[in-house]
Chain A
Amino acid sequence: MIKEYFKIAVRNIRKRALRSWLTILGIVIGAFLVVSLISLSEGLNKAVMGELQAVGTNIVMVVPGEGMDITAMFGGLELKNQEMEAIRRARGVDVALEMPWQMKNVRWRQTSESVLLWALDLQTGTDVARTDMGWDVREGSFARAGRREVIVGNLVPQNIFPGIEPGDEITVSGRKFTVSGVLRSLGNREDDSSIIFDLPDYRAVTGTVEGTPVAIVRIQDGYDIDLAISNIERSLEEVMVRRRGDDSPSFTVLSSEAMIEMVENILGVIQAGIVAFAGIAILVGAIGIMNTMFTSVRERTKEIGVLKAVGAKRKHISALFLVESGMIGLLGGLMGIITGLGAARLGQFVLDQNPNILVSIEAQAPFYLIFYTLLFSFLLGCLSGLLPARRAARLDPVEALMYE
C-alpha cells in the first residue's frame, strides 16, 4: 500500500521538478550547514582533544599574546630566552621546554621534501615527552641528546619518505642526522608528519638562536597547579615590565584542563551558532514545503475527488500527501548531506594548505550525524505537509470532482 503512495509521490515530485527543487532549497541549506560545519568542528574537536587529553594534568602551556587568541598564536609572536628563564625561575616549575617548529627541506636518499621540523630539548625534555605527553616509539629507540639523532613521526615512513627506518640518515641544511626511531601516532596528521629534532640541532639547522611560539612547562610533583601558574605569571610580568617598549607584553598560561575546557567552550559556541543558522534555513524550508504542498493540494483537487470516489478514506489521502512532503524533505536532507560532506572535505583541504594551522583537521561525519540529519529532514517534511494533507483529506468528494 505504502509502495503505491511512494510511486505517486515520486511521479508528482518529478513532474513538478523545478518547483520541488526550489522548495527543498531551505532544507538543503540547513542540512548542508549542519553536516559541513559540524563535521569540521567535530574534526577539530577530535584533533585538539586527542592531543590535549594525552597531556598530563601537571603540564601547563605558556603562549605569548592575550587570552590565547588565534591571531596571537599564529601571528608569529614568540617567547624569547629571557621569558623562558623567567618561567624557569618561577616557584613550582620543574621543567620548561621550548618547542618551536618550522618547515624545512629534508633529504633522504634521493628524495627531498619539505617537512615540519619540531624541536624538543632532549636534555631536559625527554622525560616530559615520554611520561607526561605520552610520546613513545613504535620502532627503534628514542633519540639521545647530543648524538645528532632525530625521531620521525608515525606517518613519515608512509607518506613522506616511504621506507625510511631507524638507522637511516637524513640531511637538513647540509648537516647529517640519524633516524633513531619512529613515533607512535600523536593523534593528528600534522604532528605525525613531522620530524623531532633535539633543540640545539634545531637551532643549528634553522639558524635561529631563540624564540618559541609555545612553552611546555612541567610543574613539580605535588606543587599546586594554580599556585604555580600564578607564580609563572608574576615572574613573566616582571621581565616584561622591565623590557620597556615591548609591544607584546602579554602572555597566557594555561593548564591542560583549562585548555580542554576552553576548546570545548569554543566548539560549543560554534556548534550552537551552526544550529541556529541551520534552524533558520530549515524553518524557511519548512514554510516552502508547506506552501508547495498547499499548491499541490489545490492543483490536485480533482484527483483527490477521484481517489475518494473510488474508496479512499481520509487517512489514505493524508498518507499520500504526507509521504510526498516527507520525501521532499528527505530529498532535501540528502542533497544537503552530499553537498555538506563535499564542502567539509574542501574545508579540510583548504585548512591543510595553511601552514600556520598546526592541528590538521580530518572532517568527521559520524554515522549519527548523517542518520539524524536524514531523519530530521524527513520528519520536517512530514510536519510541513501535515496541514496541507489535512486540508486534502477533508475535501468533499463531490465538490472536489467538480473542481476544474
Chain B
Amino acid sequence: MSSKPQIKLDKVKKTYRIGKIDLEVLKGIDLEVEAGEFIVLLGPSGSGKSTLLNVMSCLDVPTEGHVYLDGQDVSLLNEDQLAGVRGRKIGFVFQQFNLLHHLSALENVTLPAVFQGRSESQRKKRAADLLESVGLGERMDHTPPELSGGEKQRVAIARSLINDPEIIVADEPTGEVDTDTGKKIMGILTDLHEEGRTIIIVTHDLELVDYAQRVIRIRDGVLSEK
C-alpha cells in the first residue's frame, strides 16, 4: 500500500450511553482506505456498519481514537469545520434517499453547492449535467413525490456529486428499491469508481459483494477482512 491513506481510522471506539449502560458499538477499529478503492462494508443489522460509516465520513465523531482524512486529524475539528469537510470531500447517498420533498430534482441536486457558495449559474449547469448523466435529463423539474424510488436514488447520487467529492459513501443504497433498480444504481456507482472516486458502501446484502474490490466485514463492532 502507498504512503498516505485517504482515510485512516486509529483505534476508533464509539460508545452510546443508554440510561446507565454503556453500549460499545465500535470496539477499537483500525482501518485504512486508499484513494480510489471500492469497498463494501458488510454485516448483519445492528453490527455497527452505519456508525462506522458515519465516523469515516465525518458525520459523527468517535468517542475514542482518531480519524484522519487526507492526513488531517478530523477528530480535532468542530462541528462547522466537519460540515465544511463533508461538503467539499464527501458525497452522501442514503437508504431513504433523503431528498427535500418541496424542491425539484434540480434544486435538490444544487443544494450542497449552495453551502459551498458556488454561483447559481455554475451549480445549475453542473446539476443539469449530472441529472443528464444519471438519465434524468427529462425529470429535472419534478419533485421527489413524483419520482419512483430508483429515480429518487439517482437524484440523490447526482446530488452527492455536485461538489465533485473524492469519496462517495452510501448506506444501504439499494435497501429501498427492487433488485433490477438496485443493479442499475450499483452500475452508476461502479462508473463513479471508474472515474477514480473512492466508493464505500454499507450493506447487509451479500449480492453487492460482487461489485466490490475490497470487502470488509463487521460483527459486534469488530472488523474482519478477507
For the complex formed, measure the closest distance between the CB of B135 and the CB atoms of chain A, giving whole angstroms.
22
For the complex formed, measure the closest distance between the CB of A9 and the CB atoms of chain B, giving whole angstroms.
10
**CB of A109 within 8 Å of the partner chain:** no
In the bound assembly, the distance between CA atoms of A311 and B98 in angstroms comes to 14
Is B100's CB under 8 angstroms from A303's CB? yes
Is A310's CB under 8 angstroms from B59's CB? no
Contacts of B98 in A (CB 8 A): 302, 305-306, 309, 401
In the bound assembly, the distance between CA atoms of A398 and B117 in angstroms comes to 24
Is B102's CB under 8 angstroms from A310's CB? no
Contacts of B107 in A (CB 8 A): 4, 7
Is A313's CB under 8 angstroms from B103's CB? no
**CB of A205 within 8 Å of the partner chain:** no
The contact size tier of chain B is 20 to 34
Q: Which of B87, B99, B114, B116 is the most central at the interface, judged by chain A CB atoms within 10 Å of its CB?
A: B114
In the bound assembly, the distance between CA atoms of A306 and B144 in angstroms comes to 15
B9-48 Cβ-contact flags toward A at 8 Å (1 or 0): 0000000000000000000000000000000000000000
**CB of A123 within 8 Å of the partner chain:** no
**CB of A308 within 8 Å of the partner chain:** yes
In the bound assembly, the distance between CA atoms of A297 and B114 in angstroms comes to 20
Contacts of A310 in B (CB 8 A): 86-87, 92, 111-112, 115, 159-160
In the bound assembly, the distance between CA atoms of A235 and B33 in angstroms comes to 108
Is B60's CB under 8 angstroms from A398's CB? yes
**CB of B54 within 8 Å of the partner chain:** yes
For the complex formed, measure the closest distance between the CB of A21 and the CB atoms of chain B, giving whole angstroms.
18
In the bound assembly, the distance between CA atoms of A251 and B80 in angstroms comes to 75
**CB of A54 within 8 Å of the partner chain:** no
Q: How many residues of A contact B (CB 8 A)?
A: 25
In the complex, which residue of chain A has the Cβ closest to the Cβ of B117? A1
Is B59's CB under 8 angstroms from A398's CB? yes
**CB of B187 within 8 Å of the partner chain:** no
For the complex formed, measure the closest distance between the CB of A193 and the CB atoms of chain B, giving whole angstroms.
56
Q: Is the interface of A mostly helix, strand, loop or mixed?
A: helix
**CB of A397 within 8 Å of the partner chain:** yes
**CB of A316 within 8 Å of the partner chain:** yes
Contacts of B87 in A (CB 8 A): 310-312
For the complex formed, measure the closest distance between the CB of B133 and the CB atoms of chain A, giving whole angstroms.
19
Contacts of A12 in B (CB 8 A): 102
Contacts of A397 in B (CB 8 A): 59-60, 83
Q: How many residue pairs at the A-B interface have CB separations less than 8 Å?
A: 70
**CB of B175 within 8 Å of the partner chain:** no
Contacts of B92 in A (CB 8 A): 309-310
In the bound assembly, the distance between CA atoms of A315 and B94 in angstroms comes to 24
Is B100's CB under 8 angstroms from A311's CB? no
**CB of A314 within 8 Å of the partner chain:** yes
Q: Which of B87, B94, B103 is the most central at the interface, judged by chain A CB atoms within 10 Å of its CB?
A: B87
Is B102's CB under 8 angstroms from A311's CB? no
Contacts of B146 in A (CB 8 A): none
Assuming the contacts A4-B114, A306-B100, A401-B98, asked whether A311 and B60 have C-beta atoms less than 8 A apart, the reply is: no
Is A8's CB under 8 angstroms from B115's CB? no
**CB of A176 within 8 Å of the partner chain:** no
In residues 59-97 of chain B, which contact A (Cβ within 8 Å)?
Answer: 59-60, 79-80, 83-84, 86-88, 92, 94
Q: Which of A3, A305, A312 is the most central at the interface, judged by chain B CB atoms within 10 Å of its CB?
A: A312
**CB of B120 within 8 Å of the partner chain:** yes
For the complex formed, measure the closest distance between the CB of A392 and the CB atoms of chain B, giving whole angstroms.
13
Contacts of B120 in A (CB 8 A): 3
Q: Which of B107, B111, B115 is the most central at the interface, judged by chain A CB atoms within 10 Å of its CB?
A: B115
A303-334 Cβ-contact flags toward B at 8 Å (1 or 0): 10111111111111000000000000000000
Contacts of B116 in A (CB 8 A): 311
**CB of A11 within 8 Å of the partner chain:** yes
In the complex, which residue of chain B has the Cβ closest to the Cβ of A394? B79
Assuming the contacts A7-B107, A8-B100, A398-B60, asked whether A313 and B80 have C-beta atoms less than 8 A apart, the reply is: yes
**CB of A244 within 8 Å of the partner chain:** no
Contacts of B203 in A (CB 8 A): none
**CB of B153 within 8 Å of the partner chain:** no
B150-177 Cβ-contact flags toward A at 8 Å (1 or 0): 0000000001100100000000000000
In the bound assembly, the distance between CA atoms of A397 and B54 in angstroms comes to 10
In the complex, which residue of chain B has the Cβ closest to the Cβ of A14? B102
Assuming the contacts A3-B120, A308-B83, asked whether A313 and B115 have C-beta atoms less than 8 A apart, the reply is: yes
Q: Which 4 A-B pairs have the closest CB atoms?
A: A311-B87, A310-B112, A11-B102, A313-B80
User: Which A residues have a C-beta under 8 Å from some C-beta of B?
Assistant: 1, 3-4, 7-8, 11-12, 15, 302-303, 305-316, 397-398, 401
User: Which B residues have a C-beta under 8 Å from some C-beta of A?
Assistant: 54, 59-60, 79-80, 83-84, 86-88, 92, 94, 98-100, 102-103, 107, 110-112, 114-117, 120, 159-160, 163
In the complex, besides A1-B117, A15-B102, A314-B80, 19 extra interface pairs with C-beta distance below 8 angstroms are A3-B120, A8-B100, A11-B102, A303-B100, A306-B99, A306-B100, A308-B83, A309-B86, A310-B87, A311-B84, A311-B87, A311-B88, A311-B112, A311-B116, A316-B115, A397-B59, A398-B54, A398-B60, A401-B59
